[in-house]
Amino acid sequence: MHLLCDTLTDAFFYVTFVPESILQTEPIIMRKLTNLRIRLIDTSSNSNFVDLIHLPAIKSLWVEWGDNNFPFKWDPALYTRWLSYSSNTLIQLLLTDFPLSNRIQCGPNQPQFDYSKLEALLRALPNLKSLSLPPGIQVAFPILVQLVTGGLLPRLNSLSIAMNGSSDDVFHMVHLRNKAGPSSRYSPITSLNLVTTSLRPAARRSLQAKLEALNLPKSYRLQFLKPCTICNSYCCFDM
């Protein structure tokens, strides 16, 4: 890895831990890495290893995470620490669940997600233009309010989030933020991807109509999750 620190610009890393793993202790500074996709499998017990990977030039980061011990239990604080070296350069952040075919545990009955951790992460990335969050990271109402006013992510124009329940607050946030117009001190949302639970046809049509009514100039998409095959519920959402 150290041999590539000064030359690598694009990378895809696949990381998984086994009990006998020997952890790196010296920081690795990827000075020219601008685009990184990293897949983390069963890393919850050793998640702090990412703190050793410094990304001072990163522009686009895609993290795929799957864990048999703590499925869907994302910790935004981990990424706040990790990306402290990237706060001025990162413009695209994608956090997505990686499906594990051998998963035997589910995610219900988890402690309530602490939205202040997500707020801290977003506040640490003021230049972010594109954000994608998994169902396990819910965007609470106070964060939506700050997105409306530009208090968080003033340059954001592409958003992908999941909602367990009513999505009206999201639509209202996008409408109010975009209503401010191009002269405002923050960018409008031009692309929205909304992920939610499966709904009856009438409810789907209603959501689609609300999404279309936003008149987003670039793109919009509505996705519906299927229930977990183990517990037959939507355990990927924080409970």
pLDDT tens digits, 23-67:
667 888 999 999 999 998 888 777 777 888 899 999 999 999 988
pLDDT in tens, 119-169: 999 999 999 999 999 988 888 899 999 999 899 999 999 999 998 877 899
Average pLDDT of the chain is: 85
Q: What is the pLDDT of residues 83-128, one digit of tens each?
A: 988 989 999 999 998 887 665 556 545 555 678 999 999 999 999 9
Q: How far apart are CA 96 and CA 205, in angstroms?
A: 26
Query: Region 68-76: what's the mean pLDDT?
Result: 80
**Mean pLDDT (whole number) for 212-239:** 80
pLDDT digits (tens, 9 = 90+) for 177-217: 998 866 678 899 999 999 988 778 888 899 899 999 999 99
User: What's the pTM?
Assistant: 0.89
Return the pLDDT at 183.
65
Task: For the chain, give the percent of residues with pLDDT over 70.
Answer: 88
Extract the tokens encoding 97. 């669940």
pLDDT at 21 over 70: no
Contacts of residue 196, defined as CB under 8 A and 6 or more positions apart, other chains included, come to 162, 163, 164, 167, 207, 222, 223, 224, 225
Identify the residue whose tokens are 């051998």.
102
- pLDDT of res. 108: 47
Give the CA-trace dihedral at 165, 170, 40, 198, to 10 degrees: 30
pLDDT at 239 (0 to 100) = 44
Residue 101 confidence (pLDDT) = 67
Query: For residue 104, what pLDDT is reported?
Result: 56
pLDDT > 50? residue 18: yes
- Give the pLDDT band of residue 3 (cuts 50, 70, 90): low
Question: What pLDDT, on the 0 to 100 scale, is given for residue 4?
Answer: 76
Quick check: 104 and 145 in contact, CB under 8 A? Answer: no
